[in-house]
Amino acid sequence: MTSPTKRSILFPLVALLLIGGGCAKTPTTAVRDASAPVPAPPKETGNVVEHSLVAKKTTVELKPGLSTEAWAYNETVPGPEIRATLGDRVKITFKNELDEPSTIHWHGIRVPAAMDGVPMVSQEPVPPGGTFTYEFLPPDAGTYFYHSHVRVDEQVDRGLYGAFVVEPSEKATMRDGVFALDDWLLDAKGARLPTTASEPELAIDNVLDVVSEAATASRGHAGHMMADGSMMMGGMGSGGMMNHMIPAEINGRFGNVVTVNGRANGFVAPIVLARGERFLARFLNASNAMTHELKSSDGRAFAVVAVDGIALSAPYVTDRLILPPAKRFDVVLEATNGKDWALAGGTGKRAIRIPIKIEGETETVAMPSSGVAPAMPDLRAAKPDATFQVETDSMMNATSWVVNGRPYDMEGENPVLATFARGTWVKMRFENASPMAHTMHVHGHFMRVITRNGQRVDANTSEDTVVMRPMETMDVVMLADNPGDWVMHCHNLDHEEHGLMANFKVE
Ligand code: C2O
Ligand code: CU
């Protein structure tokens, strides 16, 4: 074995930039192709990963002297990390010890519809004292998460979420870890404050762009990516003013304590790396509404290798990560020199810092291999198969969000807004007729953004959650290959719970 040389450390970042330059090709199949390659299901390993998750009230300590009543899986926030290898079956017994119904949703994992955990759509809500067994074979390796899908603005807010990692079949050459960011709205004693006491959001909490464009590797440095956002939301522009006329429950709950893996700023456990080591950091944003920003404290670059669990065909290199709600980013950190550094972001009460400490020395391992994005037909010129228009019910006195004119009824029947033929690539148009950004999430499928306001987007990744900017029209393509009844909704949990959800069907 050779010791790491300077070259072996520097090469990958250069290589990534080069790969990136030539990789923004768009497939040219101009017709809908029902025989388009459906990702093959993984080969079963025969292993069954079993967990039992009990939802109940508990007290968690966010830092010394600050404890709060949480609703948690197995009394920890985040809940236990679930790890499986691609090809393993997963069997989770859920027991609900809350005073109200609940379910678990496996965010981003393309599970069968009956296992998806959406009350009234996939299953009956699990009553207090009840149990439900979720069983499925995760079809894609990557970073996912699980969370309650009932009254999410309270249940997830209070802590009912956890990380779910599907490891690839080939043994990883680098260590990895999950970093779940969250924010809490608490009084000085740690009591949860109502959403109406929400702190005003900052520009970055609401816009948060970046995601699809960031995946275009030719734009190597992410620094410019807030440009559009700052233009729209900076100062008292079109967005900033409007937002404050929308009540907090509708606008989103922005907290005053930020945590990583349940620990508040100043008490976040450091990542300990050996000099020369590469480490796969899996970031997940479990916040209700807040977008988090993390920057290298010393400006050093890192490579983003996967978004929403799915490996990028061309990773990109940046020194800044912007994490909208519900999204996951897998990042390779490199201890290229012997110096400690940190990933840090936010200001004031929202500041957060993940320290990185160097101890000892090791060999530098190869970068993980990149994914191959499935070929997809070019539907930019096609007319959309479905249009979802998002706005508030009233500009002057908003009480809910509406999709195609209708707020979602959490307890009742809802119309199916679109039915897609199984196995087809469909084009969905999202029209944001509101002055706020929305993080649109589809269940059971991945999407790829193809245009924003008619402008071509060369994203090279598939995402389960995409940010739609204020007043933007966004076209996405999706392979409708997972049969059943599904929902799509905004992952700002306060938007979701106040109507911004719709049903669709694949048959
Ligand atoms: Cu992570 Cu329907 O949600
Ligand atoms: Cu929204």
pLDDT of residue 202: 77
Rounded Cα distance, 122 and 58, in Å: 28
Q: What is the pLDDT of residue 475?
A: 96
* Ligand 1 touching residue 109 (CB < 6 A): no
Q: Ligand 1 in contact with 158 (CB < 6 A)?
A: no
Low-confidence ranges of the chain (pLDDT < 50): 1-36, 208, 210-244
- Are the beta carbons of 93 and 53 closer than 8 angstroms? yes
| Å from CA of 492 to ligand 2 middle | 5
pLDDT for 369: 74
Instruction: Tell me what pLDDT residue 187 has.
Output: 96
DSSP H or E stretch at residue 492 = none
Query: In 42-188, which ranges are E strands?
Result: 48-63, 66-73, 79-85, 89-96, 104-107, 131-136, 142-148, 161-167, 175-184
Give me the phi and psi of 367, to 5 degrees please. Answer: -65, 150
Q: How much distance in Å is there from the Cα of 269 to the middle of ligand 1?
A: 28
How far is the C-alpha of 471 from the C-alpha of 468, rounded, in Å? Answer: 8
Q: Are strands 278-285 and 447-452 parallel, antiparallel or unpaired?
A: unpaired
- As a whole number of angstroms, the distance between CA 122 and CA 457 comes to 33
Going by C-alpha positions, the residue among 447, 453, 326, 472 that lies closest to residue 385 is: 447
* Contact call for residues 389 and 404 (beta carbons, < 8 A): yes
Return d(Cα 284, Cα 258) in angstroms, integer. Answer: 13
The number of the ligand nearest the C-alpha atom of 490 reads 2
Q: Which atom of ligand 1 approaches the CA of 501 most closely? A: 2
Q: Is the CB of 489 under 6 A from ligand 1?
A: yes
**pLDDT tens figures, 62-90:** 999 999 999 999 999 999 999 999 999 99
- For residue 17, what pLDDT is reported? 32
Ligand 1 atom at minimum distance from 107 CA: 1
Question: Can you tell me the distance from the alpha carbon of 392 to that of 434, in angstroms, rounded to the nearest whole number?
Answer: 7
Ligand 1 neighbourhood includes 326 CB (under 6 angstroms): yes
Q: Which ligand is nearest to the CA of 492?
A: 2
Quote the pLDDT of residue 459: 76
The DSSP element (H or E) to which 392 belongs, if any, is strand 386-392
Nearest ligand to the CA of 251 is 2
Ligand nearest to the CA of residue 502, numbered in listed order? 1
pLDDT, position 37: 53
pLDDT of residue 206: 63
- What pLDDT is recorded for position 307? 93
What DSSP element (H or E) covers 439?
strand 438-442
H helices then E strands: how many in the chain? Answer: 8, 31
- Our answer on whether the CB atom of 441 is closer than 6 Å to any ligand 1 atom is yes
Determine the distance separating the centroid of ligand 1 and the alpha carbon of 261, expressed in angstroms.
Answer: 19
Distance CA 195, CA 492 (A): 13
Looking at the CA of 469, which ligand is closest?
2
Query: What's the confidence (pLDDT) of residue 436?
Result: 87
Which atom of ligand 1 is the closest one to the Cα of 487?
A: 2
Those residues whose beta carbon sits under 5 angstroms from the ion ligand 2 are: 438, 490, 492, 495
Joined tokens for residue 311: 């490996």
pLDDT at 114: 98
CA distance 89 to 222: 38
Q: Which ligand 1 atom lies nearest to the CA of residue 465?
A: 1
Find the 289 Cα to ligand 2 centroid distance in Å.
8
- Note the ligand closest to the C-alpha atom of 488: 1
pLDDT for 193 equals: 95
Give the Å distance between the CA of 71 and the centre of ligand 1: 18
Strand order in the sheet with 416-420: 416-420, 501-506, 484-490, 438-442, 465-468
Question: Residue 263's beta-bridge partner residues?
Answer: 260
**Residues sharing a CB contact under 8 Å with residue 142, sequence separation 6 or more, in sequence order:** 108, 165, 166, 306, 308, 309, 310, 311, 328, 330
pLDDT given at position 100: 98
Ligand approaching nearest to the C-alpha of 106:
1
Distance 367 CA to ligand 1 centre (A): 31
Is pTM, for the whole model, over 0.75? yes
Ligand 1, atom 1, residue with closest C-alpha: 107
> What separation in Å is there between the alpha carbon of 276 and the centre of ligand 1?
38
How many whole angstroms from 380 Cα to the centroid of ligand 1?
Answer: 27
Is 107's C-beta closer than 6 angstroms to any atom of ligand 1? yes
Give 390 Cα–ligand 2 centroid separation in angstroms.
8
Nearest C-alpha neighbor of 208 from the set 222, 189, 192: 222
**pLDDT of 9:** 31
pLDDT, tens only, 250-259: 889 999 999 9
Q: How far is CA 446 from the centre of its chain?
A: 12
What is the distance in A from the centroid of ligand 1 to the CA of 338? Answer: 40
Sheet containing 79-85: give its strands across. Answer: 79-85, 161-167, 142-148, 104-107
Measured in Å, residue 102 CA sits from the centre of ligand 2 at 22
Shortest-distance Cα residue to atom 3 of ligand 1: 107
313 membership: H or E segment, kind and range: strand 310-318
Ligand 1 geometric centre to CA of 504 (Å): 14
Q: Phi/psi of residue 341, each to 5°? A: -150, -165
105 lines ligand 1 (CB under 6 A): yes
Q: Residue 23's pLDDT is what?
A: 31
Residue 503 amino acid letter: N
Q: Ligand 1 within 6 A of 443 CB?
A: yes
The pLDDT of residue 293 is: 92
Does the CB atom of residue 149 touch ligand 1 within 6 A? yes
Specify the ligand 1 atom closest to the Cα of 147: 1
- Model confidence pLDDT, tens digit, residues 303-351: 999 999 999 888 889 999 999 999 999 999 999 988 999 999 998 999 9
Angle at the Cα of 492 from the Cα atoms of 491 and 497, rounded to 5 degrees: 90
Amino acid 458: pLDDT: 82
Nearest-angstrom CA–CA distance, 477 and 311: 18
